Amino acid sequence: MSVSIEVNGTRHDIDGDPSMPLLYALRDQIGLRGAKFGCGLGQCGACTVIVDGRAVFSCLTPISALEGRAVTTTEGLLEDGKPGKVHQAFIDEQAAQCGYCIAGMVMRVQHLLERNADPTDEEILTGMQANLCRCGTHAAIIRAVQRAART
């Protein structure tokens, strides 16, 4: 089937198996590297993107569910090719080790701040818990969320 999806403001016609998760369309067909394959099970969040204002696991979301939807990935948060607000907060806090989870983290933070511009520490921890990090970068990520909320 063919599905028309808007990704980071550009419309793409995706051909393929309707059960194919969005992640494979983003990575293999559109050529965006930000969203990562981590588990394919919706357990780790490395593939997190925003679809029409909601944070979703792109590894689980079939393209058949996305006709006419608008998808935002970490690449979509660039502003004139430069790091956006959340990006910059992560950079300033050096909030990445291996970084494989980070593009998903960025989208989780973006989603959190879109809903709650001034989260408490408790709200940050709860809001981020869907995403796993193995390097133990959590503390730096928390600082990045606090910094992004301030700026």
Partner 1 sequence: MTIAPNLSRRSLLQGAGGLVVAFSLTGGVRPASAETAAVLKSVAEGAVDSYISIDPKGMVTVYSGKIDYGTGVRTGFAQMAAEELSVPLDRVTVIEGDTSLTPDQGPTYGSLSIEVGGQAIRKAAATAREALLDAAGERLGVERAGLTITDGMIRGDGGEISYGDLLNGENFSLEVNENVRLKDPAQFTIVGQPIIRDGLPGKITGAFEYMQDLKIDGMAHARVVRPPAIDATLEGVDESSISHLPDVQIVQKGNFLAVVAESEWTAVRAAREISVTWATTESLPDQAQLWTHVRETPIAKDDVTSDIGDVDSAAGTRQVKATYDFALHTHGSIGPSCSVADFSDGKLVSWSSSQATHRLRGQLSDMFSVPEEDVRCIYIEGAGCYGRNGHEDAAADAALISRELGRPIRVQWMRHDEHGWDPKGPPTLIDLTATIDDAGAVAAWSSEFFIPQGAGGRVALLGANLADLPTNQDTNPGGITNDSAIPYGFPNIRTVCHRLESTPLRPSWIRAPGRMQNTFANEAFLDEVAAELAVDPMEYRRGLIDPADKRGLAVLDRLKEFAGWEPRPSPRSGGDGDGARLTGRGMAYVKYELKRTYVGAVAEVSMDANSGAIKVDRFFVVHDCGQIINPAGVRAQIEGNVIQTTSRTLMEELTFDRNMVTSLDWASYPILRFPDVPEVNIELIDYPNEVPWGAGEPTAAVVSACISNAVFDAAGIRLRSVPFKPAKVRAALSEQRS
User: Between residues 6 and 143, which has the closer beta carbon with respect to partner 1?
Assistant: 143
Taking alpha carbons only, the member of 85, 73, 55, 83 closest to residue 148 is: 85
User: Between residues 35 and 113, which has the closer beta carbon with respect to partner 1?
Assistant: 35
CA pair distance 151, 149, nearest whole angstrom: 6
CA pair distance 62, 111, nearest whole angstrom: 20
Handedness of CA 7, 9, 10, 13 (dihedral sign): positive
Q: Which of 46, 51, 112, 149 binds partner 1 (CB under 8 A)?
A: 46
Q: Which of 95, 113, 148, 149 binds partner 1 (CB under 8 A)?
A: 95
Q: Which stretch binds partner 1 (CB under 8 A): 12-20, 50-58, 64-72, 110-118?
A: 12-20
Q: Which of 64, 83, 85, 147 binds partner 1 (CB under 8 A)?
A: 83
Which segments of 1-151 are extended strands (E)?
Answer: 2-7, 10-15, 48-51, 54-57, 70-72
Positions that interact with partner 1 (CB under 8 A):
16-17, 19-21, 24, 27-28, 32-41, 43-44, 46, 73-75, 77-78, 83, 87, 90-91, 94-103, 106, 124-126, 128-129, 131-140, 142
